[in-house]
């Protein structure tokens, strides 16, 4: 049945009340696709227009680096988590549905007090439903605002069902690993409505509450149905033993694991990963190869400042350690129904899924042209360039072009999007992007600017997918 919600009469916490105190060291996680917080500054070679946020995957995410997830029904992202609408007076889309207009007005009002809304939301959730606290990490600082941000972002984009439905289905499947049940969704909905009621005082009325209840019901039902269907043929998580650990640089490692049972996925996808040192703290990582006959899975991990999971994987993990994997997700996969070439932009550890795409094309035996632009700040940051150049020597249809922002360089010098524009034309190519959110944004603009339509541009940043489809 639909997970309809309504505020439940219960003891109200103080507006300043925060979630239960964290027992682990403090580390906040911000934004998305894709780092663990605090995020390093964006690499100018990638064309980032803002500091790289918590990207589909810590150091190789839907946008190339760490991305924190939120347990219980929520959007973790692709990426990559998006924040609530930032404008206090949003411009209304004349084509938007009545519910979307009301929701965006609410988002505009609460944006200036987002931190207070977040604290109150969690306080309501844990006071009314203390049993749900066990689904979250001990240290809530690690993902304090992700659940609410994800819910608000999904609600804001409910007028884009083609993009959002697939996204929510993946989230529903992925949240099984937290132990999330269908009965948990109304509890989260109650807390959401309660927090909005308290802080959206100027725009909140009966009509607005109805819009939010309908929207949350739709969001949660998509996720519930996807989880129920997935439960019939897949486990909630896989155990995976580390079989090799190769330190490529002082802060980047290639970690290879062996799952305890077959793990089906497609080249270009990503998964969520939990270490034994930080229970219930999951991060997204891209698969760094196409499916292999031996069943092994490889990930490129960059340790980021204050990154719990990434630092554990780079500096602590060793052969014999056992990790947990969530289900595969992501849509940045090769369309084998076309003869178009592949134009791939990989920034930093975003080269991992790009390498997987190259292997996928090679295994098909179909010689489609593949152009890879590999971006970094310096030549020494091109940690996987030897592998990519080796692939180029083996496959004559593959061209690899390193691009660095701070020369001198053996390749191109400058920003990745500009290098792509200057090297065209690309009309007969499909675009693939993996890297920090800023690179995804500027990369999408560059590809559309050289004539590649949005339906032929693939990545896993929800915000950019929605923007391209409107």
Instruction: Pick the closest to residue 353 from 117, 65, 12, 5 (CA basis).
Output: 65
Spatial separation of the C-alpha atoms in residues 173 and 155, rounded to whole Å: 19
Residue 261 has pLDDT above 90, yes or no: yes
Query: Residue 429 pLDDT > 70, yes or no?
Result: yes
**Residue 258: pLDDT band by 50, 70, 90 thresholds?**
very high
Maximum CA extent, the chain: 68
Residues 6+ apart with CB under 8 A from 149: 81, 82, 83, 84, 118
Rounded mean pLDDT, 239-251: 96
Q: Which residues contact 454 (CB under 8 A, 6 or more apart)?
A: 444, 448, 468, 469
Of the candidate ranges 61-70, 227-236, 334-343, the one whose mean pLDDT is the lowest: 61-70
Cα 58 from Cα 67, distance rounded (Å): 5
**DSSP H or E stretch at residue 284:** strand 282-286
Lowest mean pLDDT among 60-69, 168-177, 213-222, 376-385: 60-69
* The predicted structure's pLDDT at residue 165: 87
pLDDT for residue 167: 83
pLDDT over threshold 70, residue 25: no
Cis check for the bond before 425: say yes or no (omega within 30 of 0): yes
What confidence tier does 47 reach under pLDDT thresholds 50, 70, 90?
A: very low
How many other C-beta atoms can be found within 10 angstroms of the C-beta atom of residue 386? 10
Q: Which of 30-34, 84-88, 134-138, 296-300 has the lowest mean pLDDT?
A: 30-34
Residues 67 and 460: beta-carbon distance below 8 Å: no
List all residues 6 or more positions away from 161 whose beta carbon is below 8 Å from its beta carbon. none
Cβ-in-10-Å burial (0-12, 13-18, 19+) of 56 comes to buried
pTM listed for this prediction: 0.75
Mean pLDDT estimate for the chain:
79
Residue 335 has a CB neighbour count (10 Å cut-off) of 10
E strand or H helix at 206: helix 206-231
Could you count the other beta carbons within 10 Å of the beta carbon of residue 406? 14
Contact indicator for 304, 268 with CB cutoff of 8 Å: no
Q: What percent of the chain has pLDDT over 70?
A: 75
Local structure of 290: helix, strand or coil = coil
pLDDT attached to residue 68: 37
**Contact between 396 and 423 (Cβ < 8 Å):** no
**Residue 373 confidence class, pLDDT cut points 50, 70, 90:** very high
Q: Which domains are seen in the chain, by residue range? A: 238-325 (2.40.30.10), 341-468 (3.40.50.80)
Residues 249, 253: Cα–Cα separation, whole Å: 7
* Average pLDDT estimate for 249-273: 96
H helix runs in 350-395, sequence order: 351-364, 385-394
Which pLDDT value is given to residue 50?
29
Residue 260, class by beta-carbon neighbours within 10 Å (0-12 exposed, 13-18 middle, 19+ buried)?
Answer: middle
Q: Is the pLDDT of residue 42 over 90?
A: no
- Check residue 27 and give its pLDDT: 28
Q: Which of 8-12, 53-57, 192-196, 331-335 has the highest mean pLDDT?
A: 192-196
pLDDT digits (tens, 9 = 90+) for 153-199: 888 888 888 778 888 888 899 889 888 899 999 999 999 999 999 99
**Per-residue pLDDT, 32:** 32
- 62 pLDDT exceeds 60? no
Cβ atoms of residues 29 and 142 within 8 Å = yes
Percent residues over pLDDT 90 in the chain: 49
Return the minimum-mean-pLDDT range out of 24-28, 186-190, 307-311, 313-317: 24-28
Which tokens is 4 given? 């309809």
- What is the per-residue pLDDT across 402-411, written as a single tens digit (0 to 9) for each? 998 887 667 7
Tell me the residue length of the chain: 470
What is 234-250 written as a DSSP string? Answer: S-S-EEEEEEEEEE-SS
- Residues 206-222 have a mean pLDDT of 95
Q: How high is the pLDDT of residue 15? A: 44
Q: Which tokens in the block code for residue 233?
A: 């043929």
Residue 139 has pLDDT above 70, yes or no: no
Flag the least confident range among 57-61, 135-139, 408-412. Answer: 57-61
Q: 55 pLDDT exceeds 90? A: no
Residue 246, judged by CB atoms within 10 A of its CB (0-12, 13-18, 19+), counts as exposed
C-alpha–C-alpha distance, residues 248 and 252, integer Å: 6
Lowest-confidence range among 9-23, 180-194, 313-327? Answer: 9-23
φ, ψ of residue 104 in degrees (nearest 5)? -70, -30
**Other beta carbons within 10 Å of 453:** 11
Residue 91: per-residue pLDDT: 57
Could you give the CA distance from residue 320 to residue 29 in angstroms, rounded to a whole number? 29
Note the Cα 375 to chain centre separation in Å: 20
Q: What is the mean pLDDT of residues 229-233?
A: 92
For 340-358, the pLDDT digits (tens) are 999 999 999 999 999 999 9
Residue whose structure tokens are 């090679």 = 362
Alpha carbon distance 203, 194 (integer Å): 14
Residues facing residue 342 across a β-bridge? 370, 430
Strand-by-strand arrangement of the 238-247 sheet: 282-286, 270-274, 322-325, 238-247, 252-259, 297-302
């Amino acid at each position: 049945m639909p997970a309809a919600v309504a505020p439940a009469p219960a003891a109200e916490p103080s507006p300043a009340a925060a979630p239960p105190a964290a027992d682990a060291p403090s580390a906040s996680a911000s934004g998305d696709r894709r780092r663990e917080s605090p995020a390093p500054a964006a690499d100018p070679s990638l064309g980032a227009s803002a500091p790289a946020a918590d990207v589909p995957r810590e150091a190789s995410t839907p946008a190339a680096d760490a991305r924190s997830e939120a347990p219980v029904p929520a959007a973790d992202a692709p990426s990559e988590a998006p924040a609530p609408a930032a404008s206090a007076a949003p411009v209304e889309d004349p084509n938007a549905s009545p519910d979307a207009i009301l929701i965006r007005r609410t988002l505009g009002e609460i944006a200036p007090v987002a931190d207070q809304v977040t604290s109150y939301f969690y306080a309501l959730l844990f006071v009314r439903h203390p049993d749900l606290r066990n689904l979250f990490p001990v240290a809530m600082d690690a993902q304090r605002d992700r659940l609410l941000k994800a819910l608000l972002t999904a609600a804001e984009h409910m007028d884009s069902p083609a993009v959002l439905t697939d996204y929510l289905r993946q989230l529903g499947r992925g949240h099984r690993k937290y132990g999330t049940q269908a009965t948990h969704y109304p509890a989260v909905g109650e807390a959401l409505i309660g927090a909005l009621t308290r802080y959206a005082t100027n725009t909140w009325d009966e009509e607005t509450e109805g819009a939010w209840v309908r929207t949350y019901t739709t969001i949660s039902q998509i996720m519930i149905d996807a989880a129920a269907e997935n439960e019939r043929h897949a486990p909630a998580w896989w155990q995976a033993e580390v079989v090799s650990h190769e330190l490529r640089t002082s802060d980047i490692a290639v970690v290879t694991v062996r799952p305890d049972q077959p793990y089906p996925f497609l080249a270009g996808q990503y998964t969520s990963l939990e270490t034994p040192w930080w229970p219930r703290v999951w991060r997204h990582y891209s698969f760094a190869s196409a499916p292999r006959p031996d069943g092994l899975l490889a990930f490129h991990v960059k340790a980021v400042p204050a990154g719990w999971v990434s630092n554990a994987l780079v500096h602590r993990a060793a052969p014999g350690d056992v990790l947990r994997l969530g289900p595969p997700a992501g849509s940045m996969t090769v369309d084998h129904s076309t003869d178009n070439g592949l134009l791939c932009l990989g920034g930093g550890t975003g080269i991992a899924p790009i390498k997987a795409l190259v292997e996928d094309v090679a295994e098909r035996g179909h010689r489609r042209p593949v152009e890879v632009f590999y971006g970094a700040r310096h030549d020494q940051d091109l940690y996987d360039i030897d592998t990519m150049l080796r692939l180029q020597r083996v496959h004559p249809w593959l061209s690899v072009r390193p691009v660095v922002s701070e020369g001198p360089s053996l390749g191109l010098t400058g920003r990745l999007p500009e290098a792509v524009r200057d090297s065209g034309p690309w009309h007969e190519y499909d675009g693939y992007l993996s890297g920090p959110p800023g690179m995804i944004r500027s990369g999408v603009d560059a590809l559309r600017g050289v004539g590649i339509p949005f339906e032929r541009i693939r990545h896993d940043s929800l915000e950019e997918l929605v923007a391209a489809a409107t």
